[in-house]
Chain A
Amino acid sequence: MTAIEAPAPLDAEEEARLRAARRDRIAKWALPVIVMALTLVLWDRIVVWNDIAHYILPAPSRVAETLVADWAILGPAAWATIQITGLALLAAVVGGVGLAVFFTQSRLFELSFYPYAVILQVTPIIAIAPLLRIYIDSVYGVLILCAWIVAFFPILSNTTLGLNSADHNLRDLFRIYGATRWQKLRYLQLPAALPYFLGGLRIAGGLSLIGAVVAEFVVGTAGQSYGLASRILEASYRLNIPRLYAALLLISAIGVVIFAALSLLSHLLLRKWHESALKRET
């Protein structure tokens, strides 16, 4: 690098590139907000101009009012759904990573049990849930189990792939230095698997919410109300469409928050070294 007295004037191409970058930074936030605002206005106008009854399609303002007015009912339901989703995701992480580690430690173990993990994954949860309801007394337990079954496979398969993806020369190096199995796992395989695991975790986060909601629909909570899904069912029986929309809004919001939180976690853990977290010039 040579020292330059005055900064050289940028050429037209470079200026255009900088302008485009600035524009993108603003548009990334502004555009979705504008689209959302337009949609709400259009929705509201359609309801008002066509004089649609609120039990067919409530106006967005009505949904918002219901959300506040019915918070005593919706709030605890949302909290229950969050708990089920969170516990299922936690169990999926423990089970998925644990099983993946066992798989890479013993080839025979992997050959024995991998097909069953696949069977568990490909069987629709809707088909298993009624059975689980018969065998397990606690509705809460059934819901968590269902959400776990849906969520754990992406973590298992991604982590297994990651644990096996460590550079083969590095494996040789660990052998030459006489590394123990535990050292190889801890210093080589687990760090190498981290980006894969985080990819699986992001998928599993969304799936555990879907699992929690779907399971609640299927299991039927037999009079006891748990999460948002049973509130939606209840609202639909009573044609309380504004509350149905409010519950739906909450489920979407939970999903978005889970995705954003896991994306942030992934970024924080990988930003220093992984290709996926790097910003490239040009």
Chain B
Amino acid sequence: MPPRRPLLTLSGVGKTFAGDVVALRGMSLEVREGDFISLLGPSGCGKSTALRLIAGLSHPTAGSIRWAEARERGDIGVVFQEPTLMPWATVAENAWLPFRLRGQSYSAVKDEVREALRLVGLDAFAGAYPRELSGGMKMRVSIARALVTRPKLILMDEPFAALDEITRFRLNNDLLSLKAKIGCTVIFVTHSVFESVFLSDRIVVMAARPGRVEREVAVGEPYPRDEAFRTSPEYAALCREASAALHAAMGEAA
């Protein structure tokens, strides 16, 4: 496999809020194209802060975030913990939003929108309103909206935390096959050890107070991964390793 090209480099990134609240300290991370990176940690470890900094929603008070190529509109897709859909717009209109904000009419990008909905299995629901959908389906619309512009980077902030386990497992599987199809780069915030091991090729374990990187766990298992991976000894061993790292991180913080 050829070495992956770097996409984004965080060096010594820190964020301090007013009142000397240190949300994040000295975070360094190299994100390469095609990576699936999980940020795993307890609440208050700065993983959501890191995501907001990468998204450009706030600026670091220390260190720097460098993109290998200049960022453009629609280079980043975001999926939040809630589906965050516009209730007054149909599924297709919601997925159209990133294009619409670039000034592109629906007819000009109809194929891309349809394709995104097809990828998440919702092409039959293009004309439905969000309230007609289940929680898992709403999350799929949110994912379709994030990938419709084929962004270089998709940021996901605990997207499946509020869903039931059956739906979560299905969406985990679907997310991996989506990633295999469109080859995007993902940074995925979670507090579930199992989810991070199943999905990622790199797990960044973070500690709280102050938020910082504890260590990185490499998941060497090849993709595609399916349900069989969930019950394999390799999976169990990796879960133990990530779990131990997380406990070490939390032990220090306590």
Interface residues of A (CB under 8 A from B): 167, 169-170, 172-179, 183, 187-188, 191-192, 194, 272-275, 278
Contact = CB atoms under 8 A, between A and B. Distances in A.
B129 A273 contact: yes
Given A169-B80, A188-B86, A273-B88, A175 B57 contact: yes
A167 B84 contact: yes
Nearest to B55: A176
Contacts of B82: 169
Nearest to B103: A183
How many interface residues does chain B have, given as a range?
Answer: 20 to 34
B164 to A, nearest CB: 21
Contacts of B55: 172, 176
Interface of B: 52, 55-57, 73-74, 76, 78, 80, 82, 84, 86-89, 97-98, 100-102, 129-131
B76 A176 contact: yes
Contacts of A187: 86, 97, 100-101
B86 A170 contact: yes
B184 to A, nearest CB: 16
B88 A177 contact: no
A177 B73 contact: yes
Contacts of B52: 172
B160 to A, nearest CB: 16
A273 B131 contact: yes
Contact of B88 (A169, A178, A191, A278): A191
B101 A191 contact: no
A179 B101 contact: yes
Contacts of A174: 101
A178 B101 contact: yes
Contacts of B76: 176
24 contacts: A169-B84, A170-B84, A172-B55, A173-B84, A175-B57, A176-B55, A176-B56, A176-B78, A177-B98, A177-B102, A178-B73, A179-B101, A183-B101, A187-B100, A191-B88, A191-B89, A192-B88, A273-B87, A273-B89, A273-B129, A273-B131, A274-B87, A275-B131, A278-B131
